[in-house]
Amino acid sequence: MSNNHTTSAAILLVDDEPDLLTGLKRNFAHRLPGINVLTADGGNQALEILATEEISLLLMDVMMGDTNGLEVLDQIHSRDPELTVIMMTGYGTIELAVDAIRRGAWDFVTKPLDLDDLTRMLGKGLERSRLIGENRKLRSRIFPGGPVPEFVGQCSAMRELYKAIQTSADSNYTVLIRGASGTGKEICARAIHTLSRRSKKPFVMVNCPAIPEELLESELFGYRQGAFTGANRDHAGLFRQAEGGTICLDEIGDIPVSVQTKLLRVLQEQEIKQLGADTSTRIDVRIIASTNADLETRIGEGKFRQDLYYRLAVLNLRMPPLCGIAEDIPLLADHFIKKVCLELDSSEKRFSAAALEMLQVYNWPGNIRELQNVIRRAVLFCPGPVIGTHHLVLDAASPETRPSQDERDMEIIPYKEAKESCLDSFTRQYVHTLLTKSSGNVSHAARLSHLTRAALQKIMRRYQIDGGQFRK
């Protein structure tokens, strides 16, 4: 187990069994010297401790009397998405484990507990928290204005975005985040919340298109018992769940006009009226909206209210596409490869120079999300320490791969020129893959390609490819 933990690191144990808490605290005090071990007898006490103490790792039971640990996990994750949380239960099932991980848990363990295995798991979890802390410090040194959670990048477009996020966080105005799919709109919304004065209160993310149109109003604003058939209890609604904090309405452009009208009233009056209620209720919730839709076109078509648009777009942020910040791709790739290796408990890996170049010249129709998925696959299927071009699966047939506006407007060049351009691109990528596979050994590369050594060297000179950069 790593010994890199600092004396300030703290673990919080959460369970409703006093004997188990006492036993675990005594054992971990001995097994993890220098680590402060705190305990809580339920979810409410855990949330109180998290609000006042710096916790590196949280170990929490799923079932604690009347408290559902997964619901507590949701609240914890909304406040601090990077906190390392391990869930434990005596009723372990694959479905429960998958649900816990999906809701933000880092790992999952079943009772009866194996203390040796659990100690090793805690050690890795503490190491993860240490690396996340170091990353935060690094970002704070790179960006004098303060770190922006979850973001990596140093180019001018990203620096402008960081300034806009920090400025937005300092106010209580509504924010409209725009950008293509996969550019990080949700991460941007979470960063604004985390850097704001509301950071200790809930952050509620609402994927509007995922909620059926006929249920969206009742889910957002809530309802009273008896309001409609099947309403056999009161339902607070997502706005009430976000009280004091922030609600992010993702893909706001897709909500029906009837709900837009009621949302406009919320923005104007700062109050909601639940279905079946006689009176309205005051709320204190900041609204952030995000979309990849062309709202101006939707307004012209009568599908989006113009007055709602102006209420939402008090502050307007636009997420740059990945191809627009290509100079940051090596930094992003390095960040993601470390993160994925940690997720998979894999040995350290790195990209070859040719692989990094391949990542930089690709169009990335799926943006950051596509880059993450490409790196996940590469780490998973690369057996050695170096990821080469042959490990990168860039799916040109992806449904997201559509020609950009620039490509649609591009002048059509003669067939012969287009063919030569494609041939040049193929040859360059082929030779890069070949030299990566042969670790820069030109003779071996020539044998693999069924070319003479002289012929391969001629191609390398033509494309100014240096075999030395591929040597390990």
Which of 48-62, 72-86, 287-301, 386-400 has the highest average model confidence (pLDDT)? 287-301
In this structure, is residue 67 part of a structural domain?
yes
Compute how many other C-beta atoms are within 10 angstroms of the C-beta atom of residue 167. 14
Closest-CA residue to 223 (of 266, 175, 150, 276): 276
User: What are the angstrom distances between the C-alpha of 18 and each of 14, 23, 37, 39, 111?
Assistant: 10, 9, 15, 9, 16
In this structure, is residue 425 part of a structural domain?
yes
pLDDT for 4 equals: 45
| Same domain as 306, residue 388 | no
CATH number at residue 271: 3.40.50.300
In this structure, is residue 31 part of a structural domain?
yes
Which of 216-230, 316-330, 391-405 has the highest average model confidence (pLDDT)? 316-330
Number of domains composing the chain: 3
In this structure, is residue 4 part of a structural domain?
no
| Same domain as 132, residue 52 | yes
Average pLDDT of the residues in 3-10? 58
Q: Retrieve residue 419's tokens.
A: 């063919």
In this structure, is residue 5 part of a structural domain?
no
Choose the weakest-confidence range: 90-99, 137-146, 225-234.
137-146
Q: Identify the band that residue 193 occupies on the pLDDT scale cut at 50, 70 and 90.
A: very high
pLDDT for 409 equals: 40
| Same domain as 68, residue 91 | yes
Average pLDDT of the residues in 60-77? 83
Domain's final residue, options 285, 318, 351 = 318
Domain's final residue, options 122, 139, 156 = 139
Domain's final residue, options 109, 139, 169 = 139
CATH number at residue 99: 3.40.50.2300
Average pLDDT of the residues in 410-418? 56
Scanning the structure block, which residue is given the tokens 């770190």?
147
| Same domain as 159, residue 122 | no
**pLDDT above 70 for 443:** yes
121-146 burial, b at 16+ Cβ within 10 Å, e below that, comes to bbbbbbbbbbebbebeeebeeebeee
| Same domain as 247, residue 152 | yes
**pLDDT above 90 for 198:** yes
Higher pLDDT, 29 or 415: 29
Domain range for residue 393? 325-470
pLDDT for 248 equals: 96
Distance CA 129, CA 123 (A): 10
